[in-house]
Chain A
Amino acid sequence: MKGVQIQPAMPRSWRPETKPHKFCPGCGHGIVLKALGEAIDELEIQDRVVFGCDIGCSLLAWDFFNVDTVQTHHGRTTPVMVGMKRANPELIVVAYMGDGGGYAIGTQHLVNAATRNDRITVILVNNTQYGMTGGQMAPTTLPGQKTETTPFGRDPELTGYPIQGPEMVASITRDGAYVARGTVAKPRQLKGFIKRALQNQMAGRGFSFVEALSTCPTNWRTNAEDTWKFIEKEMTKYFKVGEVKVPPELARGKGEREDG
Chain B
Amino acid sequence: MRRPGWKRRRPRRPAHRPEPENDHKVATYILLIAILSAGALAALLLGRRAAASAVGALASIAAGACGLISGGTALAGATWDLRLPWSVPMGSFHVAADPLSGFFLCVISLLCGLCGLYGWRYLAHHAGRRNLGASWCFYLLLFASMAVVVTARNAVLFLVAWEAMSLSSLLLVMFEHERPEVVRAGWTYLVATHLGTAFLLVMFLLLADGGSLEFDTLAPAEGAGGAVFLLAMVGFGTKAGFLPLHVWLPEAHPAAPSHVSAVMSGVMIKTGIYGLLRTLLLLGPPPAWWGFALLGVGAASGVFGVLLALAQHDLKRLLAYHSVENIGIIALGMGVGLLGVSSGNHLMAALGFTGALLHVLNHAVFKGLLFLAAGSVLHATATGELDRLGGLLKRMPATGGAFLVGSAAISGLPPLNGFVSEFCMYAGALSAIAAGGAAAWGGVVAAGSLALISGLALACFSKAFGIVFLGEPRSESAEAAHDPPLSMRLPVQLLAGLCVALGLCGPLAAAAAAPAVAGIAGGRAAPAVVELLWWVSGAALLLGALVAALALCRRRLLRGRTVGEGPTWDCGYAAPGARMQYTASSYAMPIVKMFRGVLGTTEHLQRPEGLLPRSASVRTHTGDPLLERAYRPAFAAVAWLAARLRWLQRGRNQLYVLYIALAVLALLVFELGGRP
The answer to whether A and B belong to the same complex is no
Interface residues of B (CB under 8 A from A): none
